[in-house]
Amino acid sequence: MSNYHIKHLEEYWQVYRKSLRNPEVFWEEIAEEHFLWRKRWDTVLDWDFSKPEVKWYEGAELNITENCIDRHLTTRADKTAILFEPNDPTAIAEHITYRQLHERVCKFANVLKDQGVQKGDRVCIYLPMIPELAISVLACARIGAIHSVVFAGFSATALATRINDCDCKIVLTSDGSYRGNKTIDLKGIVDEALTSCPGIEKVLVAKRTNTDISMKSGRDQWLQPLLDAASKECEATIMKAEDPLFILYTSGSTGKPKGMVHTTGGYMIYTAYTFKNIFQYRENDVYWCTADIGWITGHSYIVYGPLANGATTVLFEGVPSYPDFGRFWEIVQKHKITQFYTAPTAIRALAKENLDFVEKYDLSSLKVLGTVGEPINEEAWHWYNENIGKRKSPIVDTWWQTETGGIMIAPIPFATPTIPTYATLPLPGIQPTLMNEQGEELKNNQQEGRLCIKFPWPSMARTIWGNHERYRETYFSTYKNMYFTGDGAFRDAVGYYRITGRVDDVIIVSGHNLGTAPIEDAINEHPAVAESAIVGYPHDIKGNALYGYITLKETGESRDQDNLRKEINQLITERIGPIAKLNKIQFTNGLPKTRSGKIMRRILRKIAEKDTSNLGDISTLLNPEVVKGIIENTF
Ligand code: WTA
């Protein structure tokens, strides 16, 4: 039996049970046998969910880049580590070997050091999906700087908030970025953001689009000449297992985004372990995850997990629809992709297109298909299974979160039988449970409840940057001694989990988590707006779309409502980004409220879903009459 590489269902159960019986021995063996440490740990695990405080491998020392790069140089130096597929399908793909990756990461790390970046400093990375993104992430890790990658689709305001929240002193960006047939002025967005970021001393700019940009003297420098001049050797800084590796922001249901802090040792172990098992990675496979490194999926399953296993990981700059809807499948054929990991929203979008886009290509290299980010609906699952997997590649529906760092519930391909819409079984070391609203644990199967985790796992986020109390309150205060995920789930008769969706005010649109409060805050900034409430409603491709109910200060018919809608969406784009734009905006005379003044989103959600037959008792509302008006004017 191998703890590290599970191949059959029976083995899964044995390993799973072992991980429950003695979690510390389990995680100790894995850490010992498969990773490179500079110093061994004193204790495997120390935890207290009431504080909450979790420490894995305390006393141990390591550098994650030695595990992801250096240790492969003896056996895999000339193997492709990163396979870069540019936006332009006629451009040549770039194979970066482990040896070259080592050199480029070292050079980049030396540049950062020359710019005054030290261990523990926060580095903001705002780059498109080009090799410099992965390389700069690893360069930070090389010298113990904490990277904070901000998805390069976020607006200047969102970028500034994230830069200021963790006091970054340097930004890494590019002149522009390509997305399909569009060119985006990334540096312009950075310039705008930096007007409100006094802490930023330096900006390093990679050249990608060769567009004209302005460079502020004393602050901005082109990256390439600095890299050219840098030494290709950079000794790895020795880190403690619990030293922070990175911060990644995720939307909460209220307030500003939460900077989730992940630490080094446990994160490395868990992402590597799950990568190996969930994708059944073998030495000559070519693995492709289509996510952006700006999200946790990219951190864990484009960069760290694959590289820690010496894998070849594809980095794709473009979009699924350019030059046409066959792009993904063209890439699968071209690079003989063996594992393909994407989001349900992408699958739904591609399933709408003509099957010719799929059938033109040879997809026979595929062995495992994955999905992540939101529940996958049955129709999309079958389309994926039949047309992409040809019914021979298992679909791993992987449930996890930015906060969990790695995949928590998912089938192990060729071991766990899959069922559409079920994430199936917890991975070794993961102890999920369901709770009811009264705080009782639902011990029997065939029940639906709120998904919690009872025991720590190595890659869990340790805190929210600068706000440990918010971390405690958000995840550990709802149920005693449990991590609360914010998701609902159903557990079937055999113990398989099916994730039913968020139970809080987070809405997942095209796989992106959006908190309702920040969007409402943006809307309320419009001078004509009195009040607003956002809810999600089902959408064929995005999974959910946003429906905004907005009350104006003056209900004058005179206002051009279409224009107002445009202005409101423009404001949201500026404050958060285009992903948070509202699909529908309904102007209302009021919002349904409880007597204590709380907006009844449950009712608004039902109306948006066009399910008005059972709104429950609305007579207890402060203003039941507004509900009728809203229903009458619904889209
Ligand atoms: C949702 C993404 C159903 C869930 C890795 C979770 C899923 C949130 C699945 C985290 C899945 C993710 N089935 N729902 N397979 N995967 N989710 O932080 O609501 O961007 O809480 O992390 O996405 O999103 P995040």
Give the pLDDT confidence of 49-72 residue by residue, as tens digits.
999 999 999 999 999 999 999 999
Closest CA to 608 of 588, 625, 624, 589: 588
**What residues have CB less than 8 Å from 576, skipping those under 6 apart?**
154, 155, 157, 158, 514, 518, 519, 522
Percent of the chain with pLDDT over 90: 89
Number of other CB atoms surrounding residue 70 within 10 Å:
17
Q: Is 250 in the pocket of ligand 1 (CB under 6 A)?
A: yes
The pair of three-digit structure tokens given for residue 25, joined into one six-digit string: 């021995």
pLDDT (average), residues 19-48: 97
Task: Over range 513-540, report the average pLDDT.
Answer: 92
| 373 C-beta closer than 6 A to ligand 1 | yes
Q: How confident is the model at residue 253 (pLDDT cuts 50, 70, 90)?
A: low
Mean pLDDT of 26-35: 97
pLDDT at 453 over 80: yes
Phi then psi for 495, rounded to 5 degrees?
A: 95, 10
d(CA 411, CA 422) in angstroms, rounded, equals 9
The answer to whether residues 488 and 388 touch, using CB atoms and an 8 Å cutoff, is: no
pLDDT digits (tens, 9 = 90+) for 90-123: 999 999 999 999 999 999 999 999 999 999 999 9
Mean pLDDT of all residues in 416-435: 97
C-alpha 565 – ligand 1 centre gap (Å): 30
pLDDT of residue 635: 73
Residue nearest to atom 1 of ligand 1 (CA): 374
Contact present, 55 and 45 (Cβ < 8 Å): yes
Give strand pairing partners of 507.
Answer: 514
**CA–CA distance, 450 with 436 (Å, rounded to integer):** 6
Residue 294 Cβ inside 6 Å of ligand 1? The answer reads no
Q: For a pocket test of ligand 1, which of 400, 430, 464 has the largest count of ligand atoms closer than 8 A to its C-beta?
A: 400
Residue 557, pLDDT score: 59
Q: How far is the CA of 372 from the centre of ligand 1 (A)?
A: 6
Counting other chains too, the contacts that 35-40 makes at CB distance below 8 Å and 24 or more residues apart are 35/62, 35/67, 35/268, 35/269, 35/272, 35/308, 36/62, 36/66, 36/67, 36/70, 36/71, 37/61, 37/62, 38/62, 38/63, 38/66, 38/238, 39/238
Burial 420-445 (b: 16+ CB within 10 A, else e): bbbbbbbbbbbbbbbbeeeeeeeeee
Residue 342, ligand 1, Cβ within 6 A: no
The average confidence (pLDDT) of the chain is 95
**What average pLDDT score do residues 381-387 get?**
98
User: Atom 6, ligand 1: which residue's CA is nearest?
Assistant: 401
Q: Considering only CA atoms, give the Rg of the chain.
A: 24
For residue 124, with 0-12 CB atoms within 10 Å meaning exposed, 13-18 middle and 19 or more buried, which class applies?
A: buried
* 202/393 Cα distance (integer angstroms): 47
* Residue 417 three-state SS: coil
Rounded to whole angstroms, the Cα distance separating 150 from 123 reads: 10
Region of 520 on the Ramachandran plot (φ > 0 left; ψ -120 to 50 alpha; else beta): alpha
**582's tokens:** 């509202």
* pLDDT digit string, tens, across residues 548-563: 999 998 765 567 899 9
Token pair belonging to 403: 């906060």
Which residue matches tokens 């009458």?
632
Output the residue whose Cα is nearest ligand 1's atom 11: 399
Please tell me whether residue 327 adopts helix, strand or coil conformation: helix
Q: Model confidence over 129-177: pLDDT tens digits?
A: 999 999 999 999 999 999 999 999 999 999 999 999 999 999 999 999 9
The predicted pLDDT at position 330 comes to: 98
Torsion of CA 351, 354, 356, 361, to 10 degrees: -30
Where residue 276 falls among pLDDT bands split at 50, 70, 90? very high
To test the pocket of ligand 1, the residue of 267, 372, 422, 464 to mutate (highest count of ligand atoms within 8 Å of its CB) is 372
Secondary structure class of 474 (helix, strand, coil) = helix
pLDDT value of residue 549? 96
**Model confidence at 1: pLDDT above 60:** no
Ligand 1 centroid to residue 400 C-alpha, Å: 5
User: How would residue 595 be classed by pLDDT, with cut points 50, 70 and 90?
Assistant: confident
Name 30's Cβ contacts closer than 8 Å, sequence gap at least 6. Answer: 3, 4, 269, 273
In this predicted model, what pLDDT tens digit does every residue of 194-216 receive, in sequence order? 999 999 999 999 999 999 999 99
CA-based nearest residue to 210, from 164, 239, 167, 177: 177
Pocket test residue of 275, 499, 510, 579 for ligand 1, highest count of atoms within 8 A of CB:
499
Minimum mean pLDDT range among 110-124, 257-271, 276-290, 491-505: 491-505
Report which of 369, 411, 362 is spatially closest to residue 393, judged by C-alpha positions. 369
- Say what the pLDDT of residue 556 is: 59
Position 245 scores a pLDDT of 98
Q: What pLDDT was estimated at residue 558?
A: 60
Gap from CA of 403 to ligand 1 centroid (Å)? 10
- CB-hemisphere CA count at 13 Å for 55? 14
Least confident interval from 243-257, 276-290, 371-385, 454-468: 243-257
Q: Say yes or no to pLDDT of 616 above 90.
A: no
Q: Which residue, by CA, sits nearest to atom 13 of ligand 1? A: 375
Percent above pLDDT 70 for the chain:
99
> Which atom of ligand 1 is the closest one to the Cα of 376?
13
pTM score, whole prediction: 0.93
513 lines ligand 1 (CB under 6 A): yes
Evaluate: CB of 398 within 6 angstroms of ligand 1.
yes
pLDDT given for residue 555 in this prediction: 64
The mean pLDDT value for 619-624 works out to 82
Q: Ligand 1 test: best mutation among 151, 247, 397, 401, most atoms within 8 Å of CB?
A: 401
Residue 6: burial class (beta carbons within 10 Å; 0-12, 13-18, 19+): buried
CA of 341 to the centre of ligand 1 (A): 14
Ligand 1 nearest atom to the CA of residue 375, by list position? 3
| Overall average pLDDT of the 379-400 stretch | 97
